Amino acid sequence: MNTDMKDNVVVITGASKGIGAELARQLAAKGAMLALAARDREALERVAAECVALGARVEVVVTDVAKEEDCRRLMERTVAAFGRIDTLVNNAGATMWARFEDIEDMSILARIMQVNYMGAVHCTHCALPHLKASRGRLVGIASLTALVGVPTRSGYAASKHAMRGFFDSLRIELAGSGVTVTMVYPGFVSTGIRENATGPDGRPIAVSPVKEGEVMGVEECARLTLEAIAARRRELVMTLRGRLGQFLKVVAPGLVDRIARRAIETGR
């Protein structure tokens, strides 16, 4: 199995910060060719400059994955720039931090589903013919909330559960096509994304409720993710707590609920 990502044409959504940006930098160092997508052009350009400094060819495409036409343009621009698509990393995401009963504007949940789930669906649909032609890699960056319910994250967990179901089903459909599907389930990662999480009033919470210095660093998360992508692994459950939770959910589901509640209460 070829695990060398050199000259691999990789599309990364949500590439302006966090896991997406760090994946871009690590892939650039390995000689990949990158199409970087996010809504923030200025932040994207900064990441792109870092990747170019590492020797990569980079195409920047301002993209809102909630818009199907943006996803289509992203893939068209990638093919125009590089001639093909070898890997699609569906990483763009929106999150929340609010008890369901406290949410004042239910459109918050619709937006999260549109970005996290339908964004991955749109990008995958537009990229799939190119991935089949290259016998490429299809990647979904989910969360441990795709595996268990988590308080204050109801809409986010729902979107990641949907993402998991979609890609697990698609993997079966693609059997024999040469396209592999890798699902990645990180736990808390120090990315800065939680400062932009939506609170019950629909505005960013501004201050992260997670002890950022006590959770996995973004560099390690990206390194583990890249290893799984390169090896075409079926899935990566990134933490021991996550792997233990999968087992306990079968034999002691109530205990998993208590663990999830404590993780949110302690912020780690």
- pLDDT on residue 241: 75
- pLDDT on residue 5: 96
85-119 b/e (C-beta count within 10 Å ≥ 16 → b)? bbbbbbbbbbbbbbeeeebeeeebbebbbbbbbbb
What pLDDT digit, counting tens, does each position of 116-146 carry?
Answer: 999 999 999 999 999 999 999 999 999 998 9
- pLDDT on residue 71: 98
| Two structure tokens written together for 204 | 């960013």
> What pTM, to 2 d.p., does this model score?
0.88
pLDDT at residue 194 greater than cutoff 50: no
Q: For the chain, how big is the Rg over CA atoms in Å?
A: 18
Between the alpha carbon of residue 34 and those of residues 44, 61, 70, the distances in Å are: 12, 11, 17
| Two structure tokens written together for 228 | 């799984």
pLDDT at residue 237 greater than cutoff 80: yes
CA 82 – CA 6 distance, rounded (Å): 14
Q: Tell me which of 192 and 237 has the higher pLDDT.
A: 237
Of 11-25, 85-99, 241-255, the range with the lowest mean pLDDT is: 241-255
What residue segments make up the domains of the chain, in order of their start? 9-240
CA 221 – CA 143 distance, rounded (Å): 12
pLDDT at residue 199 greater than cutoff 80: no
pLDDT at residue 263 greater than cutoff 80: no
- pLDDT on residue 64: 98
| Cα 131–chain centre separation | 18
H or E element, residue 43: helix 41-53
- Indicate which residues carry an active-site annotation: 156
Q: Mapping DSSP to helix (H, G, I), strand (E, B) and coil, where does residue 183 land?
A: strand
Q: Which residues contact 76 (CB under 8 A, 6 or more apart)?
A: none
CA 86 – CA 132 distance, rounded (Å): 9
Of 139-148, 159-168, 182-191, the range with the lowest mean pLDDT is: 182-191
Of 4-8, 39-43, 67-71, 193-197, the range with the lowest mean pLDDT is: 193-197
Q: Tell me which of 252 and 181 has the higher pLDDT.
A: 181
- CATH topology classification for 9-240: Rossmann fold (3.40.50)
Instruction: Compute the mean pLDDT over every residue in the chain, rounded to the nearest whole number.
Output: 89
Q: Sorting pLDDT into bands at 50, 70 and 90, what band is 195?
A: low
What pLDDT digit, counting tens, does each position of 67-119 carry?
Answer: 999 999 999 999 999 999 999 999 999 988 889 999 999 999 999 999 999 99
User: What single-letter DSSP state applies at residue 62?
Assistant: E
- CB distance 78 to 6 below 8 Å: no
pLDDT at residue 14 greater than cutoff 60: yes
What is the dihedral sign for C-alpha 255, 256, 257, 261?
positive
- DSSP H helices in 93-239: 107-113, 119-134, 154-173, 218-230
- Going by C-alpha positions, the residue among 167, 112, 142 that lies closest to residue 221 is 142
Percent of the chain that is helix, strand, coil (3-state, to 5): 50, 15, 30
Work out the number of other CB atoms within 10 angstroms of the CB of residue 247. Answer: 10
CA 73 – CA 69 distance, rounded (Å): 6
| Two structure tokens written together for 92 | 């763009």
Q: How many residues are given for the chain?
A: 268
Work out the number of other CB atoms within 10 angstroms of the CB of residue 73. Answer: 16
